Amino acid sequence: MAVVLAVLLPWVWRQQRTRDPSAAGRRRALWLSLALGLGLPAAGGLFYALRGDPGALDSQRSALSQALLQGGLPQTAEAARQLQAELTEHLARQPDDPRALVLKARLDMRAERHADAAAAYAKALQGRSKAINDAGVWAEYAEALGMAQGGTLAGEPLRLVQKALAIDAHHAQALDLAGSAAWEVRDFAKAAMYWKRLLEQIPVGEPRHAELRLAVLRAEQQARFAMPTDSAP
């Protein structure tokens, strides 16, 4: 996981404020989603840099070129400001560049501009954009939209999660979000199912494995006492 998380997302902060012990599994799973998702911007940035139009970038725009070629977001405030300025100028000239739009969305997410991030993701996924086939971008869009609508995955964010899983049934962030969406509607059996799939990707012995395993156990325990529901993903 190459990118350092600059700020904890409000969604996670909301869950951590919760005092209800039964939500602990979800809180851990959401935290894990962010930890696993940290590597996605790097992979996505590289994907669009390799498959996009290299001539679309001015060779003097070092911050933007480096961000697109290497992936990830800058780790200092000064570098972030420089990248934001170059990105704004680039999008003024090429407003439909999906690589730049995804990068803008990630910068907006880090700055907690969730509605702006969701709008940028939506635009990046229009037309014949290569981003359409990237499960990670759909999952990031789902998270941004969920946070923009108050921290819930109900409705459109859930549809986006399902889109991501249709592209890649093993995508880590999408699996975690799907589990969280199921937990949100109290479909604990499905939450456990999605998180089990995610658990298989984490080596035994890592702290994240133990945390997610506990979330699975709590979801299974809740499932034994919960009424069936048809509203889960």
Q: What is the per-residue pLDDT across 1-42, written as a single tens digit (0 to 9) for each?
A: 333 233 333 444 344 444 444 444 444 444 444 444 434 444
**Better-scored residue on pLDDT, 10 or 184:** 184
- Tokens representing residue 81 in the block: 């400001």
pLDDT of 168 > 90? The answer is: yes
- 1-38+134-233 folds as 1.25.40
Residues 46-89: tens digit of each pLDDT: 344 333 443 344 444 466 766 665 556 777 788 888 888 888 99
Mean pLDDT on 88-106: 92
Residues 135-148: tens digit of each pLDDT: 999 999 999 999 99
> Which pLDDT does position 94 carry in this prediction?
93
pLDDT of 203 > 70? The answer is: yes
Mean pLDDT on 177-205: 95
> Which pLDDT does position 68 carry in this prediction?
64
Assessment of whether the complete model's pTM goes beyond 0.85: no
pLDDT of 215 > 90? The answer is: yes
> Sign of torsion, CA 73 144 174 162?
negative
Question: Tokens 């060779």 label which residue?
Answer: 59
Q: Percent of the chain, pLDDT > 70?
A: 66
Q: What is the DSSP string of 137-173?
A: HHHHHHHHHHHHTTS--TTHHHHHHHHHHHH-TT-HH
pLDDT of 202 > 70? The answer is: yes
Q: Which of 12, 44, 29 is nearest to 202 (CA)?
A: 29
> Which pLDDT does position 53 carry in this prediction?
42
> Which pLDDT does position 62 carry in this prediction?
60
